[in-house]
Structure 1
Amino acid sequence: MNSRLVVTFTTLIIFVITAMAVPLGLAYASHRTNRLLLDRRADATRFAELADQAARDDDHTSLIAEITRYADLYGAAVRVRDRDGSVVVTAGRFDAEDEEEAVRLAMSGRTTEDLPTISPFGPSRVLLAEPAGRDAQLSGVVLLEASADQARLDVTLVWGALAVGALIALGYSVLAARRLARWILRPVTELDRTTRAIAEGHLDARAHPGVGPTELQRLEERFNAMADAVSGAMERQRAFVADASHELRTPLTVLGLRLENLEPHLRQEGTVEFEEAMGELDRLALLVEDLLALARVEAGAAKEKETELGPRLAVWREVYAAKGVTLHIDIPEMSVVPEAAARVADIALDNAQKFVPADGTVTATFRDGVLRVADDGPGLDEEERAEALGRFWRSGAHANVPGSGLGLAIAAELAKSCGATLSLLPATPHGLVVELRLAQP
């Protein structure tokens, strides 16, 4: 947008400069042409008087001497014709092609009123015609062809000065346009930076108003107010979830103990219901733990700490051995990752050991900043993979498997907290791949 504003401003400036410089250049060219006409017409008028006097006296000696000296001095050409059109005197070389037309006009008593406008591109010479004599008593015509080189040079210098001035003005104007565009768009740039930071998880990012149009400054202030309100609402929501989850842990623990204390007093036929109640209580406790973990992740509790990945995942070997599932860990030694990434790996391995049947295989690898946990279990179809990262989502086929439906949602928040990207991919020939791409330093 900055470039478009600069182009728009520059285009308008070009129009303004052109609208000023072109008329000035044309006005000077017209002025210089008129000055040349007046200067040479005065000479032509003097020669016309001399020609008329020579015709009366029938003596052209003085006229010849005058026009010859003039032609040598100014590099011009002068020709005198009588009233019959015959050439009487000539000094200098004539190159004019429209001489006959000029003679015809002069014979009608009309003097040259205008010349072609002088420009750097021409004409190189101009022709003037002046009748000799008065009114009906014309004795002839004086033709004066003069060089326009000096006039063309003057026009060229003025046009060049105007062009240089226009370029300088354009250069300064473009610089001013760039500064003006930056000033106008500074609040927009600031808002773009702030929204990008918020989208990346930095909810405390705010715009810094103070420069730019008043309307956009007000927009920044209102955006900050909106961001404060949204951030406050999210913080209160997180605090509520964390507090509720924390407060529920104690009564759930007490309830579990009391139910266990009631077990010796149950009749035989109530054993099944008791075990189901204890299972639901365990499920509720797991849900509370997961909600508390999710609230802590969203609050940024696991951002800075790092851990060694290999030993962290090695503890899962016993769990998998007890389930009859093979676990392959292919992780280079001294592979250090953020704590959040290690927790994502724990969640992926925990899910895999739930869904992979006995004699199945799970492989954990870490290469070039990409952590992959692949299994050969039943996996998920494309639609399920697209929804699996949502909160409380569970596949219909996994209804009897213990869990809260928050594991992958917590993994997604953990990935976001460390700047990583979490993806669910299909394994070949079947199964699921949990892929975590860490941000490159």
Structure 2
Amino acid sequence: MTRRLLLSYLSLTLLVLLCLEVPFGYVYARGEMNRFSSGGQQAAVMLAEVLEEKVEKQTVDDVPTLVADFAQRTRGHVIVVNRNGQLLADSDNTIATGTDLSAQPDIATALRNRSTSTTRQDTTLGGTAYVTTVPGASGSTVRCAVQISYPLAMVTSKIHDTWLVLAAVGLGVLAAVALIALALARWITGPVRALERATTQLAEGTLTDPPATNLGPPELRRLAASFVRTATRLQHLLKAQHAFASEASHQLKTPLTALRLRLENFEPYLDPRAQGSLDEAVGEVERLGRMVQGLLALARLENAATTPEATDLDAVVADRAAVWTAFAGEQYVDIAVVGPQVGQVLAIPGALEQIIDNLLSNALRVSPPGTTLTLATAPSGGDPGVVELHVMDQGPGMTEAQRERAFDRFWRASDVNHEGTGLGLPIVQQLTRASGGDVVLLAAPGGGLDAVVRLRLARAPRTPASRRPRSRLGARQDAMFSSWSDSALPVPEGRQ
């Protein structure tokens, strides 16, 4: 911003200087040329009058002396011819006396009692010259003609010097304006840079260096003060929300667990006809618990300010496939991992595990026995720096309208026959976007649903190779239940 302000000030100053100096220089140069030509013409007329008198009195012997003296004083070249165009005198003695010059256009015009002026190259003077030719006449009688060539070197040098002075003045003004503009731009942009740093800090979670409210223009001071008040209040609200998200889970687990136990304790004393209602009540309590956990998980995600890190997608896919194989086997569903190894992707810590667990949990709910869940990795066709993770099932799938609403919180398809909270896919979307990627739902080839998670590569993809053997279900199973409790993932029936 400092550079743009500086350039704007300098551009405006340069425009003003050009509007002032260029016309001034042009008018000055034109005035100097007019003064020079007028003086030259007047001198030529005066010389012609003197020489015309000499010719009239037939004292032409004095003409060469007068011409030489005039040429020496003016540093010009003088030629004098009589009424017939024959040379009487040449100040440089380059043309023989008596030479007929009446064929020259300027001299012929002067002999017809008319003056001419022009600018042309003069070989005698060795440069550009202002040439004026005037008649020496009394009334309509022309007795001689005088042609004087004045060198333009002196006047053009003076004009050039004037242009150089104007350019130097302009550069000096620009330098002064640049110094003043730089100081002014720094004074203006200093608070803006402080606000930028503060905004970056606030976006990362904590404002440690609030901007000064007593620097810069009054408008920026007021803006800084408003920002500090807003940031302070926002941090307070974020801390309060974060405290709620961290404490509410502990406060809500106990009454929900107690409520479920009390309901189950009613079972021996209930009439068998009320057993169905009791089961439904217990199921609703369990669903309420999962919903609370999902809301708290979303709140923690929204409060967290985590930077994406390089994570080995192949290792995470292998690990989660091994963990879920046992649960899928209880429902007679297979899990297959296909595709090339893609290496490391950018994701916030722990996000890939939660994304895959949520998608596998949803897919397992709708997968009929004897089908296969497929985890597939593939490079993105549109961007070489992006890879795709596909989680495909062979269930009933979704319509296009259902897929568009699937990421809305608490939304569930009207024709589902399982108990869900409607928070699994919103959690997946939140985690994916926080990692700098995106997730979409597509129709799987041959039926079912294809959840496509697109993530950016942390480095160049590795050479495609076959999949490594997946890790077996072992000690990670205990850690899995702990992660479910923290992330509020829906658990398959029978695995609470």
Question: In which range does the TM-score fall when normalised by the shorter chain?
Answer: 0.7 to 0.9
Q: CA deviation at 1:286?
A: 1.4
Residue 300 of structure 1 corresponds to 304
Q: Secondary structure at the match of 1:371?
A: strand
1:161 aligns with 2:172: no
In 1: Cα distance, 2:12 partner to 2:306 partner = 55
Is the Cα–Cα contact under 8 Å of residues 102 and 128 in structure 1 kept in the other structure? no
Structure 2 residue corresponding to 1:257, chosen from 258, 261, 269: 261
1:437 aligns with 2:454: yes
1:387 aligns with 2:390: no
> 266-275 or 211-220, which moves further after superposition?
211-220
Residues 327 and 13 of structure 1: is their aligned pair in 2 closer, same or farther, counting only changes over 3 Å? same
Residue 126 of structure 1 corresponds to 131
Q: CA deviation at 1:30?
A: 3.4
Cα shift readout 1:300-323 (whole Å, capped 9, x = no counterpart): 298789685122331111111111
Structure 1 residue corresponding to 2:293, chosen from 277, 289, 292: 289
In 1: Cα distance, 2:106 partner to 2:414 partner = 102
1:375 aligns with 2:393: yes
Mapping for residues 17-416 of structure 1, pairs under 5 Å? 17-34=17-34, 36-37=36-37, 40=40, 43-44=43-44, 47-48=47-48, 50-51=50-51, 53-55=53-55, 57-68=57-68, 70=70, 74-79=75-80, 89-91=88-90, 97=106, 100=109, 104=113, 124-127=129-132, 129=134, 143-151=146-154, 153-154=156-157, 157-158=160-161, 161=164, 165=168, 168=171, 202-204=204-206, 208=211, 213-216=217-220, 218-300=222-304, 308-309=315-316, 310-330=318-338, 338-367=349-378, 369-398=387-416, 400-416=417-433
Is the Cα–Cα contact under 8 Å of residues 55 and 139 in structure 1 kept in the other structure? no
In 2: Cα distance, 1:22 partner to 1:102 partner = 41
Letter in 2 for 1:421: D
Q: TM-score, normalised by structure 2?
A: 0.68
In 2: Cα distance, 1:208 partner to 1:373 partner = 47
Residue 109 of structure 1 corresponds to none
Cα shift readout 1:308-344 (whole Å, capped 9, x = no counterpart): 5122331111111111212113485997974111111
In 1: Cα distance, 2:144 partner to 2:59 partner = 16
Is the Cα–Cα contact under 8 Å of residues 29 and 117 in structure 1 kept in the other structure? no
Q: What are the ranges of 5 or more consecutive residues in structure 1 without an aligned counterpart?
A: 107-111
Residues 437 and 12 of structure 1: is their aligned pair in 2 closer, same or farther, counting only changes over 3 Å? same
In 2: Cα distance, 1:256 partner to 1:440 partner = 45
Letter in 1 for 2:429: A
> 219-228 or 416-425, which moves further after superposition?
219-228
Q: Secondary structure at the match of 2:285?
A: helix
Q: Secondary structure at the match of 2:281?
A: helix
Is the Cα–Cα contact under 8 Å of residues 47 and 142 in structure 1 kept in the other structure? no
Is the Cα–Cα contact under 8 Å of residues 56 and 143 in structure 2 kept in the other structure? no
Letter in 1 for 2:277: E
> 180-189 or 294-303, which moves further after superposition?
180-189
In 1: Cα distance, 2:297 partner to 2:185 partner = 47
Residues 186 and 372 of structure 1: is their aligned pair in 2 closer, same or farther, counting only changes over 3 Å? farther
Q: TM-score, normalised by structure 1?
A: 0.75
Q: CA deviation at 1:7?
A: 7.5
Residues 68 and 417 of structure 1: is their aligned pair in 2 closer, same or farther, counting only changes over 3 Å? closer
Seq. identity, %: 29
Q: Secondary structure at the match of 2:292?
A: helix
Between Structure 1 and Structure 2, how many residues are aligned? 424
Is the Cα–Cα contact under 8 Å of residues 326 and 360 in structure 1 kept in the other structure? yes
Instruction: Kindly report the root-mean-square deviation, in angstroms, between the aligned alpha carbons of the 2 structures.
Output: 4.6
Is the Cα–Cα contact under 8 Å of residues 377 and 388 in structure 2 kept in the other structure? yes
Q: Secondary structure at the match of 2:149?
A: strand
Q: Secondary structure at the match of 1:396?
A: coil
Structure having the larger proportion of residues in helix: 1
Residues 303 and 50 of structure 1: is their aligned pair in 2 closer, same or farther, counting only changes over 3 Å? closer
In 1: Cα distance, 2:2 partner to 2:404 partner = 38
